[in-house]
Amino acid sequence: MLSQRWRPVAISAVAVCGIWLVAFAGIRIARNAKMTAEKVRAYAESVDLGKLSGAARAKAIQDLADKLNALSLEERRKARADRLAWNWFNQMTEDEKASFIEATMPTGFKQMLAAFEQLPEEKRRKSIDDALRRLKETRDQGAGVPGAGGPGGTNGPPVLSDELQAKVRTIGLKTFYSQSSAQTKAELAPVLEELQRVMESGRPFRGR
């Protein structure tokens, strides 16, 4: 009688333990599957792009783009600040650079550029200043942390050269971007990402 009475309890306990084990395993798998800037670094350092050609080279570049696109906002900022893809980028052909930039730009950034161009001049200037400020803050926060922050630290060069800033403001961001080389687009990429976050916050549209 006692055995019969406690059998459902034992079965329930085993079931609960099984559920917890499955959930724990799922959490571990999800953590291991999550892409991080460190994983991107490991991949970039494990492959010698200069030794690849043809389909293998194209696949390696696409794999790097896919890994960057899989990063969370914070991890993407780390990867940008640490210039994880820069060594590869410098070894790419112009066509490869153009394709890589196109593949790694955030979704909707072209629509963002169109909306940005519709803003009054003062709001465009303020939005760019906000994006540059946030990029500098991110870089400065990483200064002194091993493997983070990129070169220069708090005394490093501006996140975007004065010359490029002047051209962006004079010619217009959308026009300048469309006319720029792949190398210049790569320099603009972090600014465009940060500008998109500024635009998505809605601040530039307030008080219009």
Q: What is the percent of the chain with per-residue pLDDT over 70, rounded to a whole number?
A: 72
Q: What is the pLDDT of residue 151?
A: 43
Whole-angstrom CA distances from 56 to 47, 50, 51, 104, 142 are: 11, 11, 10, 19, 34
Q: What is the mean pLDDT of residues 47-62?
A: 94
Q: What is the model's pLDDT at position 112?
A: 84
Lowest-confidence range among 83-92, 120-129, 151-160?
151-160
| 59 and 24 Cβ atoms separated by less than 8 Å | no
d(CA 191, CA 75): 16
pLDDT at 13: 67
Are 92 and 52 contacting, i.e. CB atoms less than 8 angstroms apart?
Answer: no
- The secondary structure of 91-128, three-state, reads HCCHHHHHHHHHHHCCCCHHHHHHHHHCCCHHHHHHHH
Mean pLDDT of the chain: 78
C-alpha–C-alpha distance, residues 106 and 189, integer Å: 9
CA gap 129, 175 in Å, rounded: 18
Residue 9 CA, chain-centre distance (Å), reads 50
Tell me what the mean pLDDT of segment 138-154 comes to. Answer: 52
* CA diameter of the chain: 89
82, pLDDT greater than 50: yes
Which of 44, 74, 84 lies closest to 61 in space, CA to CA? 44
Q: How high is the pLDDT of residue 144?
A: 45
What is each CA distance from 199 to 75, 81, 99, 150, 159, in whole angstroms?
20, 21, 25, 26, 19
More confident residue, 14 or 85: 85
Q: What is the pLDDT of residue 86?
A: 81
Q: How far apart are the first and last CA of the chain?
A: 78
pLDDT tens sequence across 90-145: 899 999 998 998 888 877 777 888 888 888 888 888 888 888 888 888 777 655 44
- pTM reported for the whole predicted model: 0.64
Q: Are residues 191 and 128 in contact, defined by beta-carbon separation less than 8 angstroms?
A: yes
Token digits for 7? 């059998």
**pLDDT for res 198:** 82
Residue in the block written with tokens 């196109």 = 102
133 or 81: whose pLDDT is higher?
133
Average of per-residue pLDDT across 175-203: 83
Distances (CA, A) of 37 to 147, 178, 196, 201: 10, 29, 21, 25
Percent of the chain whose predicted confidence (pLDDT) is above 90:
21
pLDDT greater than 70 at residue 207: no
Mean pLDDT of the 19-27 span: 58
